[in-house]
Structure 1
Amino acid sequence: MKNMKVLIVDDAKFICELVTKIVSEAFPASTVKAAFNGEEARVLLTSEAFDIILCDWEMPKMSGLEVLKWTRAQPQYKTVPFVMVTSRGEREYVLKAIHAGVNDYLGKPFTKEQLVQKMNKVLGTAQAPDAAKQAKAAKMMEQDKEKVESISKNVPKPKGMAHLRVHDQVFKCAIKDMSLKDVLVVVKNEGKFPQVLDQAVIDIEQLSGDSVARVNGFIQMVQAAEAHINSAFINIRVTLVDDDPDKMAHLSKYIASVR
C-alpha cells in the first residue's frame, strides 16, 4: 500500500523505535507515528486517519483493549486493520481481543519477519470484524467463566492469600495448606507457571495483626488442579528452606491462626 499511515501504540519507547525502524524499512513509502499510551493514541486517531494500528495491551491511562474497543466504535475505523502486539498471549486475553474486533495478534518478543508477515496479512483486507468469530469468542469466554465458577465452588476455603515470586514473575495465589515444611498454593492457569526446582519466595498476606512477610523455598510440585489439559487452576507445592528461629516462630503463630 502506497503512502500508508501506520500508528504504533506502546508505552515502551524502545519498542516504538524498533517497530518504526522495521516498518520504515519494509514499507519505505509509509508514514509512521507513535503514541506512548492509549490516550495519546486516541488523540492521534481523532486528528488523523491511519491505515493500520499496531498496539500494545498493557499501557497507562487507556489499555490496548480499550483502544481497540474505541476504534471499532468509530465509523472511520470499523474496518481498519488492528494488530495487538503484546506479551499477553494467554487464552483469556486472546478471546477478549477477538471479541472486541482485533484482526490479528502478535506475541512479544517478535522478529522483523513476524511483524512484516502480520502486517501483510491484514493489509488490503479491510473489512468489519468477523461477527462469527466474535460470537464464538464470547461463547468460549462464558464457558471459561462458568468452568471457573464451578471449580471454585468445590475448592475448600483458602487459608490465606499470597504472592509467589519466581524469577521475574509474580503469581497471585490462594493458600490451600501450609506447615513449617511446605506450603500448597493454587494459582489461576494463565499459560505461565513455575518449574519444578525453581527458587521461590512467598509473601503471605496478613489475616490478622501479625503477618508473615516473606518465606523462602523452592518449587517441589506443579500439578493441574483437575484432570484436564485446560485445567483452570494449577496446584503448586513450595518446600520451605528458611531456618531462622524467629521466622519459624512467626510462621507457627500464623499457621495456628488459620487452622
Structure 2
Amino acid sequence: MRSARLLVVDDAKFTRDLMVKAVKSEYRQLEVDVAQDGRKAQALLNRSRYDLVLCDWEMPEMSGIELLTWLREQEDCRNRDVAFIMVTSLGDKEYVIEAAEHGVTDYVTKPFNNDQLLNKVTKQFIKQGIVSREEFNEVMKKRDRMLGGGGAANVLTRKQGMSSAAVPTANNGPRKIRGKAMLLHGEHKFPVMLRDLNAQEAVLTLKSDQPLPGLFESVSVGLIGGHGDNQLRMTAKGKVYMLQAQEKRIDAEVVYLGVRLLEQDEKSQQLLSRIIGLLRS
C-alpha cells in the first residue's frame, strides 16, 4: 500500500473514534486527521492534501452536504475532486440523490459495522491505486479467515448498502413494467432489460460482463413503447443511484441498475407517461 491520507469529519467523538479505529485496523500506515464539524474540516482541506474524506451529514456549524458543496465549487483547492464518502443516518433515497447531485463519491448508512465501512474505503483505495489488486486479495483472504467467508463478495458485488435479500424495484411498488431498453454512458451503448419504470426512475437488469457505469454516474436510458405505427421512443437522462449484483457472489452474472431520471420539460414528461402507459398495456 502506498502512503495515503484520510480525513474523518463527525461531530460525535464516539463515531469519529469508531471510524478511525476501523480503518486503522486494516491500514495501519494510513495517516488520519479528524474534524468535529465542517468548518474545522474546511481549514484542514485548505491546508493538506487528502486521498479520501469520510464525513457525517448532520453537524453543527456546517453540515456534511454544505461541506461537500463548498469543496466541489473550489476551483483552486487541491482537494476539490477528492473521494468523498458520506456516512450518515439519513439513508432515505431522496438524501442519497441529493448527495449525488452535489458530487458525493459514495454513501454509508448509520448504523454501520466495520466491514461495511472498510468495503467502501477499500473500493476507493483500489480505484486510486493506493491498494494494489494483490494487496486487496491478501486483505480479503485475511478477512475471510476471520469472518468465515463472504468479505470479497461484499466489496465486489455491492455498490450501495442495500440488503442482498431485497429485490430492487422503482418505488418498491408492483412490478408492472417490463420491456427492452438501451443504456448509454460514456462511449458505451448496449441493450438492457427494463425491470420497472415510473416518472422518476428506472430499474434495469444487465449482464455483469457488460461495461457498468459507476454509482452516481450520469447515464441515458433509451425507451421504446408500443408497436408499428403506435411505437414511441425517447431518451431519458439520469444518474445511477443503485448498482447491485443479483446474487451475493463475485461471479454473479446479472446486475440490477437503478437510474434516477432528471427533471424533464413538459413535452418530455408527457411522452414518458405515454411510453409507460404503452408498456403497462
Provide the TM-score with structure 2 as the length reference: 0.46
Q: Which amino acid aligns with 2:87?
A: V
Residue aligned with 1:121, SS:
helix
Residue aligned with 1:105, SS:
strand
Q: Which amino acid aligns with 2:36?
A: F
**1:61, CA displacement in angstroms?**
1.0
Contact 2:106 2:215 in 1 (8 A): no
Percent identical pairs in the alignment equals 41
**1:90, CA displacement in angstroms?**
0.8
Q: Greater relative contact order: 1 or 2 (C-alpha under 8 angstroms, separation 6 or more)?
A: 2
Partner deviation per Cα, 1:78-117 (whole Å, 9 max, x = no partner): 4321100000011111001111111110000111111111
Alignment of 1:126-145 (within 5 A): 126=128, 132=218, 136-137=238-239, 140=261, 142=263
Q: 1:7 to 1:98 in 2, by over 3 A?
A: same
Distance 1:141 1:58 in 2: 26
Provide the TM-score with structure 1 as the length reference: 0.50
Residue aligned with 1:19, SS:
helix
Contact 1:96 1:137 in 2 (8 A): no
Q: 1:41 to 1:59 in 2, by over 3 A?
A: same
Q: 1:130 to 1:107 in 2, by over 3 A?
A: closer
Runs of 5+ consecutive residues of structure 2 not aligned to the other structure: 129-213, 221-236, 241-259, 267-281
Partner deviation per Cα, 1:112-132 (whole Å, 9 max, x = no partner): 111111001122435x99661
Number of equivalences: 144
Q: 1:130 to 1:86 in 2, by over 3 A?
A: closer
The structure that has the greater radius of gyration is 1
Corresponding position of 2:91: 89
Partner deviation per Cα, 1:176-200 (whole Å, 9 max, x = no partner): xxxxxxxxxxxxxxxxxxxxxxxxx
- What RMSD over aligned residues (CA atoms) do the two structures have, in Å? 2.9
Distance 2:99 2:216 in 1: 12
Instruction: Indicate yes or no: 2:127 matched with 1:125.
Output: yes
Q: 1:124 to 1:133 in 2, by over 3 A?
A: farther
Alignment of 1:86-235 (within 5 A): 86-126=88-128, 132=218, 136-137=238-239, 140=261, 142=263
Q: Which amino acid aligns with 1:63?
A: S
Contact 1:5 1:32 in 2 (8 A): yes
Alignment of 1:40-59 (within 5 A): 40-59=40-59
Residue aligned with 1:58, SS:
coil
